[in-house]
Structure 1
């Protein structure tokens, strides 16, 4: 089984990542539009990280490079997007764990900030957090939505790691220069 997974193409890894990213977005949009849970600014940034990873996976599927360099490139770029999502979800969980007296005050909505502030200031404001990001809106099995999102990003992170492992493994029959059969 492990040998089979190790031989997966970049396209197969990309399809796996793209499919899981679509599932994560479907859950997020379902919670917003069907359950009526309004996303906070950090939730929206986490969605952007899922979309960024999904775009990298989609390009990997379409390109399907056969070589190790392509697998490494798609693995690194998608790992950057997934790592950003992990950081954002972790920050969100940290804000939710703060005592009530240390929670930042609620700020303006993301749409309003995007209209009046420069992009760097919007990003800084969102990452600093606001009271709305610290609210625990819903839980499932005792875990808040950012906790589930963090788990989703960790699972999604297996795809870039698989791509990187594919790029780093030696080709069958490859011998290191200078080594003999008995080395």
Structure 2
């Protein structure tokens, strides 16, 4: 599997998850809260970085830089998903109508695509589980999978070049 194919696979996952979130929002009636929107934006950022990398078809060093940028976006998304799970289990600390909602709804992307990125729900509200897991748990699960895959390819591409350099000596 070459680097371009790897980055294409990295792009497919977050955009598929965004499509699933839109289906839940528009057809199942799940209202996204500010933390849901931040998780969507994290997936969007991971997907956009992966698309840029797939188009660029980078060499080893640039591919590692793209993976590093993706890791930062994934870590931010993981943190948001963990915070969301914490709020669900501690409803007295609901994010409700606070600064997070104002910031999220004031972002450029929320004004550009409000049907996708406008927060209208409450973070502590429990939605019906999907295959036994809540939506933020699914989000965290996919962030962990993306994190593990990115770390795997960082090590694979780093050690492969180090092995080639050692053989050349």
TM-score interval, normalised by the smaller of the two chains: 0.7 to 0.9
Which structure ranks higher in relative contact order (CA pairs < 8 Å, sequence separation ≥ 6)?
Answer: 1
The match for 2:130 among 118, 134, 140 is: 140
Partner of 2:80: 88
User: Deviations for 1:115-137, whole angstroms, at most 9, x for unmatched residues?
Assistant: 99799xxxxxxxxxxx9101112
Q: Secondary structure at the match of 1:74?
A: helix
Alpha-carbon spacing, 1:18–1:91, altered in 2? closer, same or farther (3 Å): same
- The superposition leaves residues 78-122 of structure 1 with CA deviations (integer Å, 9 ceiling, x where unpaired) of 000111111100000011111x5x3337316977x2599799xxx
Q: Is residue 2:139 matched to residue 1:149?
A: yes
Report the TM-score, using the length of structure 1 for normalisation. 0.74
The 4+ residue runs of structure 1 with deviation greater than 4 A are 108-111, 114-119
Task: Name the count of aligned residue pairs.
Answer: 156
Kindly name which structure, 1 or 2, has the bigger radius of gyration based on alpha carbons: 1
Q: For 1:38 and 1:22, how far apart are their aligned partners in 2?
A: 19
Shift in alpha-carbon separation, 1:61–1:135, aligned structure 2, 3 A: same
Aligned with residue 159 of structure 1, among 137, 149, 152: 149
Match runs of 1:107-126 below 5 Å: 107=97, 113-114=102-103
Is the helix fraction higher in 1 or 2? 2
Q: Which residue of 2 aligns with 1:53?
A: 46
**Unmatched tracts of structure 1, length 5 or more:** 1-7, 120-130, 179-183
